[in-house]
Structures are given as C-alpha cells and as structure tokens.
Amino acid sequence: MSQALRELRELLGPEGWVEPADQEPYLKEWRGRYRGRAAAVVRPVDTAMTAAVVRHCRASDLAIVPQSGNTGLCGGAAPDGSGSQVLLSLDRLNKIREIDPDNQTITAEAGCTLAAVQRAAAAVGRYFPLDLAAADRTMIGGALATNAGGVNVLHYGNARALALGIEVVLADGRIWNGLRGLRKDNSGYDLRNLFIGSEGTLGIITAGVLRLFTQPAQTVSAVCGLPRLERAPSLLAALQEGVGERLVGCELMSRFSVETALSLPGCEEPLAHSHPWYLLIRVTDVADATPLGERLARVLQRLDMIAEARVASHTQAAALWRLRKAIPAGQASAGASIKHDISVPISRIPAFVTAVHDAVERAVPGTRPCIFGHLGDGNLHVNLSQPPAMAAEAFTAETTRLNRIVHDLTAACAGSIAAEHGIGQLKRAALREYGDPVGLDLMRRIKTALDPDGLLNPGKVL
C-alpha cells in the first residue's frame, strides 16, 4: 500500500475504511453490468471528513468516484478498471439533521435512503414525494446527483424541483454551504442546480434541504386498458381536466412489459381482459370531503378511448403498483435487453412508439419492444428484448445499431436521449453525438472551472 493510501486509512479510521475482502458490493453495480477496481473504498462519517478525504486525494493525485445507494443505471458510481481511483461512499452520512414541519422542509444527509426520508416526513405528518422502485436503496445524494424522477414527477417534479438547498464538498476540499430552506432566493447564479444532476463530476453532495408537502388524505389508483396508443396523450389531458391537480402519476405500460412483470411472484393481471396498453393512474387529495374514488370513476366513465377500467381498492392499488415496479426486474425473464431512457413531447409519443416498433422490426426481426414509463412526463423506457429464437449474444451484438435507431428517432422528435437516469459512462458517446455543441462546450468549461485537475468522477458524463 502506498504512503498516500496509508495516510488515507489513518484519516478515516477502521469504520471508514473498507478492507479489500468487503469491497465487492461497492465495486459492482447491482445488475453486474459495471464492475471496477479501486485503490481504496472509503466511508467518511460526516461532511468534514468527506472534505478531508477530498483534500488528501487532491494532494495525492487520486481520483474520486462518489457513490450513494449504487442503484444508478448508467455506470456512474462504478470506478474504472485501473484500480487507481478512490471510491467514496456516502452511506454513513445518514442522519436527518432537521425537520421543519412549518417550513415544510427536511434536511437530510446524502446517505439517507429515499424510504428513510419518506418515513421521517410521515412521522411529523408530512409527505416526501420522491419515490421510485429502488427507494429502499436509493439515497438522497445519488438522487440529487442524478436529478432522479420516479412515479410522482407529474405533480411534484423531480429531485431538482424538490431541493431547496444543498451542501457540497468541492474538488478543492472546501465546503459550500448552500443549505437554505428558501422558496425565493435570487442572490446570483443558481449554483444549487448546477450541482444537482452533475453525477458527481462537479462536487460531492453531502446533504440537502428537501421540500415536504401536506400528507394526502386520500390516495386512489386506477388502471385502464387501452386498445391503441394513439389517443393516450388526449386521455392524459382529459384526465387532467377531470381531476385537475389531483393527478399525481400516470404510468404507461405495454402489454409485453406487463407480461414480463407477471413472470415474478406476487404479480397479477391488472384487468380481467388483456389489452395492448395500460395506464396506471394515481390521484391524491389533501382534503377528505369528496370521495376521490367516486370522482375518478365518473371521469373514467366519460372517456370513450378506454376499453376497460378499474378503480382499485387499497389492496388492489398496492398490487397494481407492485406490478409496475416489477417491470425492470421482470424483463430478465425475456432474455437479453437493450435499454433506453428517453423523453419526447407527450403529444409525439404515439408516433414515436410506432416508428420504434417498425424500425427495430426491420433491423432485427422478432425484437420485442418492452415499453413502459412515465406518460405524464413524456418519459419512456424503451427496452428492447431479444427475439426468443435468437441467441442473447447475437442480440446484444446489435446494441450499437439498435441504440442508433432509438436515439435517432428520439432526436427526430426533439426529445432527450437521457430523460431521468443520466449519462454516467453508458451514454457519454451518445451525449457527444446528440448534445448541442455549444451546450457541451459550456459544460466542459464549467467542469474545468470547478474541477481543473479532473479529480471528480473522471470518465463520466463528458
């Protein structure tokens, strides 16, 4: 072990130093797609220690890969294969520093899981809406670093919209205290939103002041079967007219995506009949005067583009959301999958999906598009499952060609090739290809200004 690493170990103490035999969970992404090696895996316990680690790494010319819950899907939290980078886990910074119910804010450290923040908010009668299928493992630091979305973005916005302030350890080891709980603050450049979504390349987020909301008094879910996708955007608009601001989630699931989830235990058919497309709807109300389920049922009855609909009981709702959340895992049952996380204007979704189906069928006949996602955000996961008769390796060999098809069609619809999961290592080349050249130039200048030595998460995003 080098002198620099010995000093680092001393600085962290035994609790903060992960021995090589215990490093595997930090070095490997949960699906096994990315695996790296590290010179050291360290777990500082607070912001001051995080800053000390950064200063030491800077002085010793050691690059740092920040990691929170390690649930990211783009390889952003994995070190490279050189064995020369320090993996800095935020998982011990897991304190709720403050809850201010009257200001409707919670100050949580980077290593708090989304589920822990949701529980802490509920304990004081408040609601923290950032929610996704990995909420038990995803941490605040990672959610902010990737500007995570999830199932409630339609109403509450993504991580950026939910963060009022953040604390960041900069590449030079200084601590920027931007932990403000203000709704209005026009005092200069918006530094907070520069770090949010920067995937660990500009600074290490150690805590955030997050917005809380009134606990919904009523939450009702419904599922609709759609014979065609063409009118889904009008259906969304009609729902928004019918239930207004109460619509908090509107998830789209293709029949094939539902079938993959049905392969898992605990998942059941959402409706009596099978339909090409499903919409999973969630409405909430902070008042409990008008029964929300009846209101939603009346709205759904008026909509002629729905083939079959069911307003769910409490238990049925849990089963429906379990089904939705099971889709990413269920896809494993359909063999190799080439995944995309794109967004297009909501109105263009039907034409985009038809074009994807046609183009991938022409390119690799038998490919099964597994399309699901957040209709209300224009964000679709366009995951392509292998043809049953094709070998997995032969299908994955087509990745570049199929990526190009999906991304070209996305660009043709004025969409984004990275809607919510970020860039990481996975989409670096695609960002270079599809990103606006002037925007990319600005990003590179910002990176150079904030991290001139390229210490933070090299090889990611840019």
Ligand X SMILES: Cc1cc2nc3c(=O)[nH]c(=O)nc-3n(C[C@H](O)[C@H](O)[C@H](O)COP(=O)(O)OP(=O)(O)OC[C@H]3O[C@@H](n4cnc5c(N)ncnc54)[C@H](O)[C@@H]3O)c2cc1C
Q: Point out which residues bind ligand X (CB under 6 A).
A: 65-73, 76-77, 90, 110, 132-134, 138-139, 141-143, 145-146, 148-150, 199-200, 204-205, 328, 420-421, 424, 457, 460
Q: Give yes or no for a contact between 345 and 378, defined as CB atoms under 8 angstroms apart.
A: yes
Q: Measure the CA–CA gap between 258 and 223, rounded to whole angstroms.
A: 12
Could you give the 3-state DSSP secondary structure of residue 204? Answer: strand
Kindly state the smallest distance separating residue 20's Cβ from ligand X, in Å. 20
**Which CB atom, from 407 or from 421, has the smaller least distance to ligand X?**
421
Kindly state the smallest distance separating residue 301's Cβ from ligand X, in Å. 30
| H or E element that contains 225 | strand 218-226
Q: Give yes or no for a contact between 352 and 229, defined as CB atoms under 8 angstroms apart.
A: no
**In the complex, residue closest to ligand X by CB:** 142
What backbone torsions phi and psi does residue 249 show, to the nearest 5 degrees? -150, 140
Both structure tokens of 233:
């955007």
**Which CB atom, from 246 or from 421, has the smaller least distance to ligand X?**
421
**Which CB atom, from 272 or from 449, has the smaller least distance to ligand X?**
449
CA 128 to chain centre: 16
Q: Measure the CA–CA gap between 165 and 108, rounded to whole angstroms.
A: 11
**Which CB atom, from 66 or from 216, has the smaller least distance to ligand X?**
66
**Which CB atom, from 51 or from 300, has the smaller least distance to ligand X?**
51
Q: Measure the CA–CA gap between 368 and 386, rounded to whole angstroms.
A: 6
**Which CB atom, from 311 or from 456, has the smaller least distance to ligand X?**
456
Kindly state the smallest distance separating residue 185's Cβ from ligand X, in Å. 21
| Cα–Cα distances in angstroms (integers) from residue 209 to residues 92, 107, 120, in the given order | 18, 4, 13
Kindly state the smallest distance separating residue 331's Cβ from ligand X, in Å. 11
**Which CB atom, from 202 or from 306, has the smaller least distance to ligand X?**
202
Residues shown for the chain: 462
- Name the residue type at position 407: H
| Cα–Cα distances in angstroms (integers) from residue 342 to residues 379, 396, 410, in the given order | 6, 19, 7
